[in-house]
A and B are shown apart, each in its own frame.
Chain A
Amino acid sequence: MSKTRTNIMVCGGTGCLASDSEKVAKNLELIIKARGYEEEAKVIQTGCFGFCEQGPIVKIEPDNVFYVRVGPKDAKDIVDEHIVKGRKVERLLYKEPHHNKKIGKQEDMEFYKKQLRIALRNCGLINPEDIYEYIALGGYEALGKALTQMSRDEVVKEVKESGLRGRGGGGFPTGVKWEITKSQESEVKFIICNADEGDPGAFMDRSILEGDPHSVIEAMAIGGYAIGADKGIVYIRAEYPLAISRLKTAIKQSRELGLLGKNIFDSDFSFDIDIKFGAGAFVCGEETALINSCEGKRGEPDFKPPFPAQEGYWGHPTNVNNVETFANIPPIITKGSEWFSSIGTEKSKGTKVFALAGKINNVGLVEVPMGTTLREIIFDIGGGIQGGKKFKAVQTGGPSGGVITEEYLDTPIDYDSLLSIGSMMGSGGMIVMDETDNMVNIAKFYLEFTMDEACGKCAAGRIGTKRLYEILNKITSGKATMADLDALKQLSYMVKGSSLCGLCQTAPNPIISTMKHFWDEYLAFIKDVDHSQGEGEYDGAKNKDNLMLKA
């Protein structure tokens, strides 16, 4: 990528920046200069390596040595030992928690072994602020191929046959969505990238935009060509300043090279991208709400149909896709749908990025083929539970999802299997809980979130989430009776069945699933249960099943 012999890649993702990686990079540069090694070694700030728990990460290429938890003071040793003398700095190498072995190579680490990086292919590998590095790794080849060798129908067909499904949570087949938008008769169409990423504790989309913004820009242009849109919009949270600035830089560079603008690759296709900012409302991740927000209005959802593909931004056909969905597009076009569909399970192709967090040893960003089991993700890649505690549950799908317990850990994950065990794929948040976490509190935490974020347009969502939260509060403060548990259950199903959009329809899911798997923990809070006889020995409460049935 650059002419220097050695490249020192320093992670410049939000997580590592928060632990001073900027200073690490500065110090490295200063010391390299002081030693007169500028011709030999170059410091490059990359996007997220994914191994956030061990940040700041520094990787030396082509030596393929991976240093972890590097502080500004370690810069001297890295330069003096590694760069000047060619010796590894042992103390900065990663130590596998289980067998105390020091490991220098990224691919030997348990954390990376089972991963397959497609959407994150360039994160940690290139300088996201330099378009030439993206191009050097095959960037914009897919756009060139689409524009010069493929018809619009062929592009749609390729994406359709790849089996790619929406990574924003819904799992709708992307190719089908493109086909529908393409088939609309309209002179003006739009393609929107949903970078609102509302699920708290998830950072897949942000990391892609910070680490590899061009892959999203390229994919949007390919999508625009396919559906017949000459205008793209990225709707991004204002809370992501670094992603915004990298995206802006990337758009500017693409324009300068004519990869955005008029007659791209000398074709008759013109395309440009605008950025719109969110302002802190979870519901704006929902596509109709997002479009309202793009139009400068309150981000309230609308009834569907009409779907955005029919009537979207300012009434024009609009295709909305998630960031990670887009990041998969360029490799699908260059390598072909057959390659992509050979990865994954029967109905879910390719990989999925998860933000692994909570009580787990290796917090970070992981990308695995569909069909990997939760156990592999949590125990092999994630390194198991922090502090040697016992695993209790994992929540996928964020505030819309449910908890998954030990007995289901061997389920191969895909869209359908997760639904069948009472949770959902969601956008990729994965929060691990240990034996000390109280599940009623977790449910309450999620309900507080959805209550705050409910937009207020429908009564079921507005009032329902508030009442659910109040009952949970009553339970955790020890004032509730069995009747309250009954009410909680009934109300959950009511809100689920009668709310306007996905936000409140799924809001009760954390309650429903924790009640199902951790009923004892609810009972433990109830005052008219006789706890002396062990939890749940309340005469009316043999009716655990009755309650379930009634609801």
Chain B
Amino acid sequence: MKSLTKPQAISVTKPVSEELPKEKFDELEEFIDNMETTKGALIEILHKAQNIFGYLPRDVQLYIARKLGIPGAEVFGVVSFYSYFTTKPNGKHTISVCMGTACFVRGADKIIERLKEKLEVESNEITEDGLFTLKDVRCVGACGLAPVVMVDDKVFGRVKEEDLDDIIEAYRS
């Protein structure tokens, strides 16, 4: 792999703030500095960054751009292209409603509408109390249990509209 060489490690000032503490930037920097090559690694780095910060705010994107020596627009272009990347912080819990085909034909559209009413948010929004983010996702791989709702990593299968209150309540405390 002669063509894939590591560019010189660049030292960049970290746009530290209350939400974006220095330790998190340090962790990201160490990850990048330890890569064999950063050529073609932007998506991998963004995955890591989202892992560390929970989301990809502008300052983190700019930091990555400077660190890699590429335009900020290029980073933003990639972040905005992929739905997995989010530029907004999430609520304490993420409620993901599967909108894959298997779940759709078993009534997932009604489930998400009810959740929107109950939580008073739209998809990809965070509730006023900061407790929940509502998301629609595509197939979480448990089609046999359709319709499926996930709260964080926990999967609820064969969900009925009547079950939703109980599910939400369990995470309110």
Contacts and interface: CB of A to CB of B under 8 A. Distances in A.
Nearest to B155: A18
B145 A18 contact: yes
B10 interface: no
Contact of B106 (A52, A200, A358, A398): A358
B130 interface: no
Interface in A266-297: 276-282, 293-297
Interface residues of A, number: 54
A473 to B, nearest CB: 13
Given A431-B102, A431-B105, A296 B77 contact: no
A15 interface: yes
A366 interface: no
B82 A281 contact: yes
Interface in A529-547: none
Contacts of B101: 199-201, 357-358, 395, 398, 429, 431, 445-446
Contacts of B4: 314
Interface stretch (B41-49, B87-95, B161-169): B41-49
Contacts of A55: 144-145
B43 A293 contact: yes
Contacts of B104: 201, 445
Interface in A394-439: 395, 398, 429, 431, 433, 437
B82 A239 contact: no
Given A279-B84, A395-B101, A296 B78 contact: yes
Nearest to A431: B101
B155 A279 contact: no
Interface centre among B4, B77, B105, B144 (most CB of A within 10 A): B144
B140 A239 contact: yes
Given A201-B100, A201-B101, A280-B82, A52 B42 contact: no
A447 to B, nearest CB: 13
Interface residues of B, number: 40
Given A18-B157, A238-B47, A277-B43, A357 B78 contact: no
B65 interface: no
B143 A52 contact: yes
A70 interface: no
Interface in A18-69: 18-19, 52-53, 55
B83 interface: yes
Contacts of A300: 81
A214 interface: no
Interface string B23-41: 0000000000000000111
Interface in B85-129: 85, 99-106, 109
A197 to B, nearest CB: 9
A295 B40 contact: yes
B134 interface: no
Contact of B138 (A14, A19, A200, A295): A200
A96 B93 CA distance: 40
A390 B40 CA distance: 51
A125 B67 CA distance: 47
Contact of A277 (B39, B44, B138, B155): B44
Nearest to B50: A279
A200 B137 CA distance: 9
A297 B42 contact: yes
Nearest to B83: A280
Contacts of A279: 43, 46-47, 82-85
A14 B41 contact: no
Contacts of B46: 279
Contact of B43 (A53, A240, A276, A433): A276
A355 interface: yes
B58 to A, nearest CB: 18
Contacts of A188: 1, 3
A397 B169 CA distance: 39
Contacts of A363: 102, 143-144, 146
A201 B157 contact: no
A11 B104 CA distance: 25
Nearest to A355: B143
A395 B43 CA distance: 33
- A-B pairs with lowest CB-CB distance, top 6: A52-B144, A201-B101, A279-B82, A357-B102, A200-B100, A18-B155
18 contacts: A18-B148, A55-B144, A200-B139, A201-B102, A201-B103, A201-B143, A238-B84, A239-B84, A278-B82, A279-B82, A279-B83, A280-B83, A296-B39, A300-B81, A359-B105, A431-B102, A437-B105, A445-B109
Interface of B: 1, 3-4, 39-44, 46-47, 77-78, 81-85, 99-106, 109, 137-146, 148, 155, 157
